[in-house]
Structure 1
Amino acid sequence: MVATLPTPDMRPANPRFSSGPCAKRPDWAVENLDTSVLGRSHRSKPGKAKLADAIALTREILRVPDDYRIGIVPASDTGAVEMALWSLLGERGVDMVAWESFGSGWVTDVVKQLKLNDVRKIEADYGELPDLSTIDFSRDVVFTWNGTTSGVRVPNADFIPADREGLTICDATSAAFAQPLEFAKLDVTTFSWQKVLGGEGGHGVIILSPRAVERLETYTPAWPLPKIFRMTKGGKLIEGIFKGETINTPSVLCVEDYLDALNWAKSVGGLDGLMARADANFRAIQDHVDASSWLENLAIDPATRSNTSVCLKIVDPDITALSDEEQAAFAKAIVSALDKEGVAFDIGAYRDAPSGLRIWAGATVETSDLAALMPWLDWAFEAQKSALKAAA
């Protein structure tokens, strides 16, 4: 039935719209990478220089204050967040703020793994932000800046007081390099370079404010810390971690790929250029959604809509009248049809999120590819709806 409908004339030149690992930068080629350090120790002089360059360029492009530490750590953004949770929490009560699956995962870790007693959960359903005014900043606060699986982000850092007593721990993995992060309001910021910059997976970045460093040097958790989580020794910060002496062996090839992405970022105007690209990509999707009768943005408030992980729900009355399982199957059929045509890969909603589509709009995606994709969404929807009616 799908084949009987005429297909759109234009096709995306790059059909990679996955929300992680994300599309490589435009014109990326493995041949562009400097492989001279491959096979060398990451602790060799050139190996450490590469890691130090990655840290320095991260600071420059993200505009991280000079007195903040930046470290490259194992296990992607998850490893960076877990390092912060296990190393810093427990000194005081904590407010866990969550509105999608990854934020909810941090709640589970703090309650069921760390087993902290003084935990407040401040939560909202997919598509919404919780009431940020209810957060108590005399406590530690853990939140995601951009909900990768809901497409809902905090609009800014105005809800965080400058004179807070507790620490703010922010999972910014799908926000860094696409949305402005106010580091003065953030004590721990984490991300993975496989998101907005399209780097290879497996490595995380953790950024610490002076207040976070002070906590590390004055507070010892009640539980044992695995070696890969330890950022202090003898009550002092292990400064080498934040100068390129990583805790475990990094992939030198992945580091080189990150350097390639960072240098590309500089070439397109640095942070301002990256954010402008993501904003243009979001607008290409949202303009189509605004004109659509069957699609809506999962994020209800326009001020909270992500410009990277754009999550869409199907609102056609004939489809919403179906059972949840049937709606999920319908959305998966759309995703499968687009994949089969080679026009969009990996755009299904996250497994724990409401059924629908999730299209990555980060800076490495070309706006022209998203513009070409939009008519294909309508094609796939109409084809699947026709097939559904024919089968009824």
Structure 2
Amino acid sequence: MNLTFYPGPSQLYPQVEGYLQDAYSSGILSMNHRSTAFMDMMAQTIAGLHEKLNIPLDYEVYFTSSATECWEIISQSLVEKSSLHAFNGAFGAKWFEYAQRLHPAFGHEFEFNTLLDVEASEHFAKSELLCLTHNETSNGTALSYQSLKHTRKNFAGLIAVDATSSMAGVVLPWEMGDVWFASVQKCFGLPPGLGVLIVSPRAIEKAKAIGERNHYNSLLFVRDNFQKNQTPYTPNTLAIYLLGRVMQQVPPIELVDDEIVKRAEDLYAFFHDEGFEVLVDKPSVRSHTVMALRGAEGWINALREKALENGVLLGKGYGTWKNTSLRIANFPALTDSDLSRLKKIMESQNPA
């Protein structure tokens, strides 16, 4: 297997191989994380994220071990009373379930073929934090700009957004959320082991008002260190270095977005022409970075097996659709040539 469309961990940028050797040769991997060399490297990586992803300058960027750790940081440091979680799939549900272990949390599950309508929840006006999943990896849905804009306008509290399968792949409306987070093993085209946490001035003020400093990953303690270009614990230096190199390599996010959307439209048209059934019926809520097809379990297994025989890995189904769907990543590290190879394998594999 030499090509993967698995939606995380997923295909690496081919340049990463050289960056690994560069990291070793540079000596940065042996540097103390309080050293000038490390602090300069991390500052450059954060600057690259601001520049290439067009993150507002007053939004601060921190690194964590994973996107999952960000769930914990948000619950510990930004919630005094309760949070509201709107979700339509397995990963949003997992975030909700974990938050309930730390504080009162309320769930608002909506059907995955519908637009977000979190105002229907009786807890909408009373919650201090609203948690959303921008791109639900389990079923291939995504929140539209208009949905986020409408929610931002009508929700008074903070909004936290899990963008694990979309950050660095599509343009994100940063001002529509106060906390954004992701892991690097998807659209960043990197190995797993690093989370990116992005917080707004409003979120920082809320953290200060709560004043929670009981944990090593409390938001204020993390921030104290990052303001000095340091980390609260010994970090994944290699992952931070690789992320910085990738940010130097990639074009601005607007150009990446154009390419990802164009390829997604091409793939969805191919699926339609070949008679494949897309899990998400409503085009306006379909993801551009993770696509899900549905069908009988036997057909799903046969298609994945044929792909494997040709050196290509397709993503298994997840959650409710574990046995009756497969998922296909459309991440920036993949190329038009890779997609052509995928389509050639899938041609004439219509389940009908």
For the criterion TM > 0.5, the same-fold answer is yes
Q: Supply the AA of the counterpart residue of 2:136.
A: G
Query: Where do 1:70-81 residues align within 5 Å?
Result: 70-74=61-65, 76-81=66-71
Question: Deviations for 1:141-176, whole angstroms, at most 9, x for unmatched residues?
Answer: 001111111110011122223474211011111111
Question: Deviations for 1:164-216, whole angstroms, at most 9, x for unmatched residues?
Answer: 42110111111112222222221111111221011121111111111111111
Counterparts in 2 of 1:243 and 1:290: CA distance versus 1, 3 Å: farther
Q: Kindly indicate whether the alpha-carbon contact (under 8 Å) linking 1:167 and 1:187 is maintained by their aligned counterparts in 2.
A: yes
1:362 maps to what in 2? 331
Q: Report the Cα offset of residue 242 of structure 1.
A: 4.7
2:318 maps to what in 1? 350
Counterparts in 2 of 1:332 and 1:43: CA distance versus 1, 3 Å: farther
- Identify which of 107, 110, 127 aligns with 1:124: 110
Matched, 1:168 2:150: no
Counterparts in 2 of 1:52 and 1:163: CA distance versus 1, 3 Å: farther
Q: Supply the AA of the counterpart residue of 1:151.
A: G
Answer with 33-42 or 16-25: which moved more: 33-42
1:196 maps to what in 2? 187
Counterparts in 2 of 1:196 and 1:124: CA distance versus 1, 3 Å: same
Matched, 1:286 2:268: yes
- Identify which of 276, 279, 301 aligns with 1:298: 279
Counterparts in 2 of 1:255 and 1:352: CA distance versus 1, 3 Å: farther
Q: Report the Cα offset of residue 371 of structure 1.
A: 2.2
Any stretches of 5+ residues in structure 2 without a counterpart? none
Q: Kindly indicate whether the alpha-carbon contact (under 8 Å) linking 1:25 and 1:264 is maintained by their aligned counterparts in 2.
A: no
CA distance in 1, matches of 2:268, 2:83: 36
Q: Kindly indicate whether the alpha-carbon contact (under 8 Å) linking 2:279 and 2:292 is maintained by their aligned counterparts in 1.
A: yes
Question: Deviations for 1:311-337, whole angstroms, at most 9, x for unmatched residues?
Answer: 1112xxxxxxxxxxxx33431232122
Matched, 1:331 2:319: no
Q: Kindly indicate whether the alpha-carbon contact (under 8 Å) linking 2:75 and 2:103 is maintained by their aligned counterparts in 1.
A: no
Any stretches of 5+ residues in structure 1 without a counterpart? 1-12, 315-326, 386-392
CA distance in 1, matches of 2:263, 2:228: 35
Computing the radius of gyration from Cα coordinates, the structure with the larger value is 1
Q: Report the Cα offset of residue 279 of structure 1.
A: 1.4
Q: Report the Cα offset of residue 288 of structure 1.
A: 0.8
CA distance in 1, matches of 2:164, 2:92: 12
Counterparts in 2 of 1:162 and 1:210: CA distance versus 1, 3 Å: farther
Q: Supply the AA of the counterpart residue of 1:70.
A: V
2:247 maps to what in 1? 262
Q: Kindly indicate whether the alpha-carbon contact (under 8 Å) linking 2:314 and 2:326 is maintained by their aligned counterparts in 1.
A: no
Q: Kindly indicate whether the alpha-carbon contact (under 8 Å) linking 2:81 and 2:103 is maintained by their aligned counterparts in 1.
A: no
Counterparts in 2 of 1:109 and 1:28: CA distance versus 1, 3 Å: closer
Q: Supply the AA of the counterpart residue of 1:350.
A: Y
Counterparts in 2 of 1:55 and 1:123: CA distance versus 1, 3 Å: same
- Identify which of 134, 140, 144 aligns with 2:120: 134
**Percent of matched pairs sharing the same residue:** 23
Q: Supply the AA of the counterpart residue of 2:187.
A: V
CA distance in 1, matches of 2:183, 2:227: 16
2:13 maps to what in 1? 25
CA distance in 2, matches of 1:238, 1:163: 29
Question: Deviations for 1:14-58, whole angstroms, at most 9, x for unmatched residues?
Answer: 622121122112554335634311212122111111111111111
1:6 maps to what in 2? none
CA distance in 2, matches of 1:281, 1:353: 24
CA distance in 1, matches of 2:200, 2:18: 35
Q: Kindly indicate whether the alpha-carbon contact (under 8 Å) linking 2:137 and 2:165 is maintained by their aligned counterparts in 1.
A: yes
- Identify which of 38, 49, 56 aligns with 1:65: 56
Q: Report the Cα offset of residue 238 of structure 1.
A: 3.5
2:201 maps to what in 1? 210
